[in-house]
């Protein structure tokens, strides 16, 4: 186990009706003029947007809005937000939505404290020196962004999807009300479940040994996804299923699983390149890519983790042929994603085969990716071909 510093300053208000704390929390963190960021019309249809506005008005907090933030949020939306922030002297950002809205809001939060183009910050051409405080109202179980310091933003012109990670980007508070996820459409419920599991996998497959406690915690979250993903699809208004998925999604990427170890994140890097080129839903891309990465990565030397996953998560009987057990675990992973209605091949989501080399090239733009198995351009291309 590696040394680590545990520091999770985000306060989470979890459960039915927790939206009531929003305005007092904004005030508590010094907010007087807020920018409300959101994406789809769902937050307006559900009345979440109006409820937040009413609470802010009650406390004398003025606000303006940036709506229509797209999935795989674009740097253009970040730029638009920064303009509003600077022209309206905004001192607090509120994100209502899922990972895309939160990540965009984080981009605006750092962009507000930077004089140049915010895309510079993602390119490491500019230095992130501070951020406006941020609060979240989460509407989708998937991202983890509601409790971590990461922002991932896309630039469709340059076909790049790049992250910023800063401790001070962790939201000051996040409201997690499972009821807000009742109206998530089936495809996004499924993609969100895959996203959570993928976040866990990225941290599970680590080259650091002796992390028994972290690995068992990881399996606990995976079991939760396997138990409740199908229930949430069948019964969208099942509170228990939505609550367990929502909390699992947050715990999957709030650093709990990664303290004391390093993650892999190779598959995420491939997916980022994929969706920078073809704007595929993140969780859908991961559902296709992760089994392919697993098959590519499984070897005698890497077998232990795959074997543990097969036995502990999927209940495959441990046997003398450890590689066979490991392969069965991968097959179960793919079958589970498929049972959620996820595509299993890139050809199903409109990616042309001739695009694979360009996606591979973008993946390794800043060097090899992955840790559990380091991947160069050729290896990435092989994974993409397997996934095709």
Candidates 78, 190, 217, 364; binder of a copy of itself (CB under 8 A) is 217
Name which of 12 and 137 has its Cβ closer to a copy of itself.
12
C-alpha 300: how far from chain center: 30
Q: How far is the CB of 275 from a copy of itself (least distance, A)?
A: 28
Coil, strand or helix at 52:
helix
What are residue 151's phi and psi, to 5 degrees?
-130, 125
Q: Is 59 in the site for a copy of itself (CB under 8 A)?
A: no
**What is the C-alpha separation between 178 and 137, in angstroms, rounded?**
11
Q: How far is the CB of 329 from a copy of itself (least distance, A)?
A: 18
What are residue 338's phi and psi, to 5 degrees?
-65, -40
Q: How far is the CB of 5 from a copy of itself (least distance, A)?
A: 6
Closest by CA position to 156, among listed 224, 253, 73, 242: 73
Q: Tell me whether residue 6 is exposed, middle or buried, using C-beta atoms within 10 angstroms of its C-beta: 0 to 12, 13 to 18, 19 or more.
A: exposed
What are residue 116's phi and psi, to 5 degrees?
-95, -160
Q: Is 336 in the site for a copy of itself (CB under 8 A)?
A: no
Q: Which two tokens stand for residue 122?
A: 């993602």
DSSP for 233-290, please give it: HH-TT-HHHHHHHHHHHHHTTSSTTTTTS----HHHHHHHHHHHHH---HHHHHHHHH
Candidates 240, 304, 348, 353; binder of a copy of itself (CB under 8 A) is 240
Candidates 60, 115, 212, 320; binder of a copy of itself (CB under 8 A) is 212
Q: How far is the CB of 82 from a copy of itself (least distance, A)?
A: 30
Q: How far is the CB of 217 from a copy of itself (least distance, A)?
A: 5
Q: How far is the CB of 7 from a copy of itself (least distance, A)?
A: 5
Q: How far is the CB of 118 from a copy of itself (least distance, A)?
A: 29
Q: Is 317 in the site for a copy of itself (CB under 8 A)?
A: no
Q: Tell me whether residue 300 is exposed, middle or buried, using C-beta atoms within 10 angstroms of its C-beta: 0 to 12, 13 to 18, 19 or more.
A: exposed
Q: Which stretch binds a copy of itself (CB under 8 A): 28-36, 123-131, 222-230, 322-330?
A: 222-230
Candidates 163, 236, 260, 343; binder of a copy of itself (CB under 8 A) is 260
Closest by CA position to 291, among listed 215, 386, 205, 225: 386
Report how many residues bind a copy of itself under the rule CB under 8 A.
42
Name which of 231 and 303 has its Cβ closer to a copy of itself.
231
Name which of 115 and 212 has its Cβ closer to a copy of itself.
212
171 to 210: interface string for a copy of itself, x by CB under 8 A: --------------------------------------xx
Q: How far is the CB of 227 from a copy of itself (least distance, A)?
A: 6
Bin 315: left if φ > 0, else alpha if -120 < ψ < 50, else beta: left
Q: Is 18 in the site for a copy of itself (CB under 8 A)?
A: yes
Q: How far is the CB of 4 from a copy of itself (least distance, A)?
A: 5
Residue 34 contacts residue 63 (beta carbons within 8 Å): yes
Q: Is 12 in the site for a copy of itself (CB under 8 A)?
A: yes
Candidates 51, 84, 166, 227; binder of a copy of itself (CB under 8 A) is 227
**What is the C-alpha separation between 135 and 26, in angstroms, rounded?**
7
Binding interface with a copy of itself (CB under 8 A): 1-18, 209-213, 216-217, 219-221, 223-224, 227-228, 239-240, 243-244, 247-248, 251, 256, 259-260
């Amino acid at each position: 186990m590696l040394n680590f510093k545990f520091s999770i300053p985000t306060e989470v208000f979890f459960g039915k009706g927790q939206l009531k704390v929003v305005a007092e929390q904004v005030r508590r963190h010094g907010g007087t003029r807020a920018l409300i960021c959101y994406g789809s019309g769902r937050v307006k249809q559900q009345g979440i947007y109006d409820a937040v506005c009413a609470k802010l008005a009650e406390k004398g907090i003025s606000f303006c809005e940036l709506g229509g933030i797209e999935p795989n949020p674009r740097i253009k939306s970040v730029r638009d937000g920064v303009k509003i922030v600077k022209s309206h002297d905004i001192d607090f950002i509120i994100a209502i939505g899922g990972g895309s809205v939160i990540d965009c809001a984080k981009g605006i939060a750092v962009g507000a404290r930077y004089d140049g183009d915010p895309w510079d910050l993602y390119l490491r051409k500019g230095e992130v020196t501070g951020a406006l405080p941020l609060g979240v109202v989460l509407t989708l179980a998937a991202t983890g962004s509601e409790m971590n310091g990461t922002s991932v933003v896309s630039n469709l012109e340059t076909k790049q999807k790049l992250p910023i990670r800063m401790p001070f980007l962790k939201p000051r508070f996040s409201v997690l009300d499972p009821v807000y996820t009742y109206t998530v459409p089936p495809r996004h419920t499924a993609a969100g479940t895959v996203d959570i599991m993928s976040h866990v996998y990225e941290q599970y497959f680590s080259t650091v040994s002796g992390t028994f406690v972290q690995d068992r915690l990881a399996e606990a979250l995976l079991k939760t996804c396997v138990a409740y993903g199908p229930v949430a699809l069948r019964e969208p208004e099942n509170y228990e299923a939505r609550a367990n998925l929502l909390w699992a999604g947050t715990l999957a990427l709030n650093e709990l699983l990664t303290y004391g170890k390093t993650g892999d994140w190779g598959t995420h890097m491939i997916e980022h390149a994929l969706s920078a080129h073809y704007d595929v839903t993140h969780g859908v891309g991961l559902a296709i890519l992760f089994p392919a990465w697993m098959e590519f990565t499984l070897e005698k030397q890497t077998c232990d983790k795959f074997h543990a996953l097969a036995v502990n998560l999927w209940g495959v009987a441990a046997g003398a042929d450890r590689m066979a057990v490991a392969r069965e675990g991968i097959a179960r992973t793919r079958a589970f994603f498929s049972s959620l209605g996820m595509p299993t091949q890139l050809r199903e989501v409109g990616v042309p085969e001739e695009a694979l080399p360009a996606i591979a090239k973008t993946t390794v733009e800043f060097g090899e990716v992955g840790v559990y198995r380091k991947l160069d351009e050729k290896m990435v291309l092989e994974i993409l071909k397997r996934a095709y």
